[in-house]
Structure 1
Amino acid sequence: MSRDRFNPVPLDIDKTRKRWSRDPAFAKAYDALSDEFAALAELVRARQQADMTQADVAERMGVAQATVARLESSAGSRKHAPSMATLRRYADAVGCVLLITLAPKPAAKKPNLRSSAR
């Protein structure tokens, strides 16, 4: 038997994402999921603001804690995309209402032709 000890290296998510974002394929894929990341972060934020654990939310929703964990980590997984009914139940469990907003896409910046012609 080896006497080597396992010494895990802590993962710095922000630093890792910044490093991976230098890869254009990663950046494109990450940007394509940015709305899902934002929505899932909002779920976690609401739960934490309500000072609740996943188990607390699960109990109020009448589901297993693993279901709430899967819901909060389902970014990019079309297999586990939550239904509107599930999102409403989650919102209710953490004392919130579900609001959905559609906003216009930001306009692409057009080159300033006047400044380049001078």
Structure 2
Amino acid sequence: MTKLAVLKKQWMQNSEVREAYDTHAYEFEIARSLIEARTEAGFTQAEVAKRMGTTQSVVARIEGGAQLPSMKSVIRYATAIGAHPVLQLMRDKPQ
């Protein structure tokens, strides 16, 4: 388990942290998907920024998970790494 995974596991035991995380879970999942796609494609943030015609700090914000990127930004990002976005909605399991 990575150091980050260990820390996350510890933090998630705190109900306040877990509630805050759950509030932004979708944003974090999107950010994780973007970062994973970029690293699998072998690009740095700076290289993606150059291909997008923007700055590395903009790419860092897109990947940051603090706010959702626009669909236009996701498409530009995907194109820059030689990919295309796919939107998929999953139904929640009944509780």
Shorter-chain TM-score above 0.5 = yes
Q: TM-score, normalised by structure 1?
A: 0.72
Higher relative contact order at CA 8 Å, sep ≥6: structure 1 or structure 2? 2
Identity %: 35
Aligned residue identity for 1:66: S
Q: TM-score, normalised by structure 2?
A: 0.88
CA displacement, residues 12-40 of structure 1 (integer Å, 9 cap, x when unaligned): 32222222211112112212222221111
Deviation at 1:72, TM superposition (A): 0.9
Q: What is the alpha-carbon distance in structure 1 between the residues aligned to residue 70 and residue 89 of structure 2?
A: 18
Please point out which of 35, 40, 46 is paired with 2:26: 35
Please point out which of 78, 81, 91 is paired with 2:78: 91
Root-mean-square deviation (Å) = 1.3
Counterpart of 2:57? 66
Q: What is the alpha-carbon distance in structure 2 between the residues aligned to residue 70 and residue 50 of structure 1?
A: 19
Q: What is the alpha-carbon distance in structure 1 between the residues aligned to residue 8 and residue 42 of structure 2?
A: 28
Aligned residue identity for 1:68: V
Structure 1: gaps spanning 5 or more residues: 1-11, 109-118
Q: What is the alpha-carbon distance in structure 2 between the residues aligned to residue 96 and residue 87 of structure 1?
A: 10
Q: What is the alpha-carbon distance in structure 2 between the residues aligned to residue 48 and residue 16 of structure 1?
A: 22
Q: What is the alpha-carbon distance in structure 2 between the residues aligned to residue 59 and residue 38 of structure 1?
A: 24
Aligned residue identity for 1:54: Q
Q: What is the alpha-carbon distance in structure 1 between the residues aligned to residue 26 and residue 39 of structure 2?
A: 20
